[in-house]
Amino acid sequence: MSTENEGTAVPADHPAAPAAPSTPPTPPTPPTPQSTPSTSTPPSAPAPAPAPADAPTVAQTPVTEGTSGATPEPAPEPAPAPAHTPAHAPAPAAEGAGWPPPPPTVPAWGAPLPPAPPAPAAPRRRAGGLVAAVLVAALVAGGIGGGIGYWAAQRGDEGVSSTTVSSGEAPAAFKRDPGTVAAVAAKALPSVVTIQAKSGGPQGGSEGEGGTGTGFVYDQEGHIVTNNHVVASAADGGTLSVTFPDGKSYDAEVVGRAEGYDVAVLKLTNAPKGLKPLPLGDSDKVAVGDSTIAIGAPFGLSNTVTTGIISAKNRPVASGDGSGGSNSYMSALQTDASINPGNSGGPLLDASGAVIGINSAIQSTGSGFGQSQAGSIGLGFAIPVNQAKNVAQQLIKTGKPVYPVIGATVNMQEQGEGATIASQGSGGTPSVTPDGPAAKAGLKAGDVITGFGGHQIDSGPSLISEIWTHKPGDQVKITYERDGKTSTATVTLGERTGDS
């Protein structure tokens, strides 16, 4: 969201390649004395003397090339032929011989030695002596090795430098390149906080309980952006504390919260100097497949970093606020970065370290969208930062959210064919507000809205999610169906202040 190396044939000249089989050379034959003219070739080297019959043989088995401790002794090279004698001319015959004997065969360098004549069995006492000699040799070699090791250790203690590198020195010299996950996380972590929310009820009671969430530094004045459902339990008479990665904690208070957007803004009561706000990116330019980094406190494990990609965009999501209040709606960024309860309110970063979304909800098996104690299954949802930024600025300015509206009530239960305008609104009111944006665009009860601003609409929640990505006053093209006929209209969005 690697291939193994294939086996290759070992080259013939590679040390590990098996030696090519060869026929044992013909044992050297002593040359027969012969009369040679003054211009004849120099006499050949004398044949080696046969080994004593009672000596133990050590060359009966050919030595394999490259075997440790066994190096074949080079044989004498054959004498060069006279320059004036043709290579195919027969050699002078020796006196008393029918034909010239063949020249002695000399093994090539590295070839196996010819087998020696079998030696008679040695007496038992000699075998015992041989074993004893081997044992003595082993003991002597061990003593020499121990002495050399002791000498080397003594020399090392006297200042000889060691080739061993301490593992503790490696991290100090290792530098993470800009843009790597480690570099991005190291820069962003100091600006990500863990939020502890506790309601104002009696201690030990259900109302006195709280939860853990995440937030991030929005500006140097000490504003922290998070999800509304993270702080909802402490919004009325509760307490909030914010803890930075260095362990320092600060009290905080709610500046404003928007239930529909699931966005809230806190402010540290005694904000420290030197706060570093996280840079904000552009969620409209995010593409499916872009890398993502999520930071938060899943299940209370603060400063946890996970990675993934953007797996989808404009995903309509409706989630609860965790306290039984109104649902929130978002046209979310979908990511497979591991997100769990406690990640809520934390930043979703791009590869440059800019915030592109606020982690808000997960898909949980068996419970639908929203906050659940189930673990991540690779479907997490974040509020696009462009929307969150507008909401945060409005909350800091007025303490209340402002929502764009079309002035029509739609069915929130049906799904798959669009958003149907209900027959009537809540409490028996008209489903299309008189003189509202939808009424001015010519929409009526029963119309099915199938497109909004170029995005397909398949339900009421998806329509609201798309509406809330805009601002009041924006003009948006709507596609709708009436009596089987498809039509289009342009609506100018109205506004609603506060949560109702």
Cβ pair 468, 329 in contact under 8 A: yes
Q: Which of 474, 496, 475 is nearest to 258 (CA)?
A: 496
Is 470 noted as a catalytic residue in this protein? no
449 exposed, middle or buried (CB, 10 Å; 0-12, 13-18, 19+)? buried
- The CA distance from 140 to 297, in Å, is 65
- The CA distance from 323 to 333, in Å, is 24
- The CA distance from 449 to 459, in Å, is 9
Write out the two tokens for 80. Answer: 């060069």
- The CA distance from 208 to 205, in Å, is 5
Is 229 noted as a catalytic residue in this protein? yes
Sequence-distant (≥ 6) Cβ neighbours of residue 91 within 8 angstroms = 100
CA-to-CA separations, 28 to 24, 82, 91, 107, 426, in angstroms, rounded: 12, 22, 18, 9, 116
- The CA distance from 414 to 411, in Å, is 6
Sign of the dihedral defined by the CA atoms of residues 226, 231, 237, 240, in that order: negative
- Catalytically annotated residue among 229, 338, 350, 465: 229
Cβ pair 371, 359 in contact under 8 A: no
Cβ pair 314, 287 in contact under 8 A: no
- The CA distance from 318 to 363, in Å, is 11
Q: Where are the beta strands (DSSP E) in 320-418?
A: 328-335, 347-349, 355-364, 368-370, 380-384, 402-405
- Catalytically annotated residue among 302, 311, 328, 344: 344
- The CA distance from 381 to 327, in Å, is 15
Is 241 noted as a catalytic residue in this protein? no
260 exposed, middle or buried (CB, 10 Å; 0-12, 13-18, 19+)? buried
Cβ pair 468, 483 in contact under 8 A: no
CA-to-CA separations, 203 to 198, 212, 238, 249, in angstroms, rounded: 10, 17, 11, 21
Using DSSP, state whether 481 is helix, strand or coil.
strand
Angle (CA) 216 497 425, round 5°: 120
Q: What are phi and psi of 132, to 5 degrees?
A: -60, -40
CA-to-CA separations, 61 to 1, 29, 209, 240, 322, in angstroms, rounded: 60, 21, 85, 86, 84
- How many residues are there in the chain? 500
- Catalytically annotated residue among 262, 336, 350, 447: 262
Query: Catalytic residue positions?
Result: 229, 262, 344
